Amino acid sequence: MKHPNQAALALYAGGDLGFFARWKTQRHLAKCERCGEELASFAATREIVTDLSEMPDVPWNRLAAEMKANIRLGLAAGECVRTGETPLRERPLFTGVRAAVALASIVTLVVTGLVLENPTPARADDHTVLRGIHNGIEVGGGGGAFRLMNTGATSVTFSVGAQGSMGARYVDPNTGYVTINHVYAE
């Protein structure tokens, strides 16, 4: 006959064993006297633990009074230690050094903001420049230029993008074909 382990007996004593395991343990306990005695000891221990876990009555009013007295005593002890020191409420909020540091911080913040907001513009000679000419687009920079032209076109429609792009649209008068050029510059 196989005996249930102690964990199964403890769970059975507390009523926490599953249905099938509880049924098997119950059948075994009906036949085995030694396991029945062990189950009785678990049940007795469980009752003792339940009685011990109840919290005794605590005099909360007395504890509250003792806590307040301890707090007052701590505050009084702190006052004794702080004899030559000026209380925080009587100190001036801004001394000369604090005011100078605060003013320097504000000035630094404003100057940094102005420098970052208004950067020095770069010279046009150093960058690529897109320009619309009568029959196309000219890309210039560094003293040289490159032109995209349609010599047969009489009317050119330009479109300019904010991110450094330019487009030109030509209609060929002989064929009616449309040519579109897009140029992007950084």
Tokens 């140029």 locate to 183
Phi (first) and psi of residue 137, to 5 degrees: -120, 140
Q: What is the pLDDT of residue 71?
A: 93
Residues 49, 8: Cα–Cα separation, whole Å: 19
**In the structure encoding, which two tokens stand for residue 54, read together?**
């109840």
* Digitized pLDDT (tens) for each residue of the chain, 186 residues in all: 688 888 898 898 888 889 999 999 999 999 999 999 998 998 888 888 877 767 777 788 889 999 999 999 988 887 777 666 666 666 666 678 888 999 999 999 999 998 888 777 666 556 778 888 877 888 887 778 888 887 777 778 888 888 888 888 888 878 888 888 888 887
Phi (first) and psi of residue 167, to 5 degrees: -125, 145
- pTM here is 0.31
What is the C-alpha R_g of the chain? 47
56-103 residue pLDDT tens: 777 888 899 999 999 999 888 877 776 666 666 666 666 788 889 999
Q: Which is nearest to 38 in space by CA: 64, 4, 67, 65?
A: 4
Q: How far is CA 168 from CA 66, 156, 161, 181, in A?
A: 90, 6, 12, 5
**In the structure encoding, which two tokens stand for residue 182, read together?**
């897009």
Three-state secondary-structure class, residue 178? strand
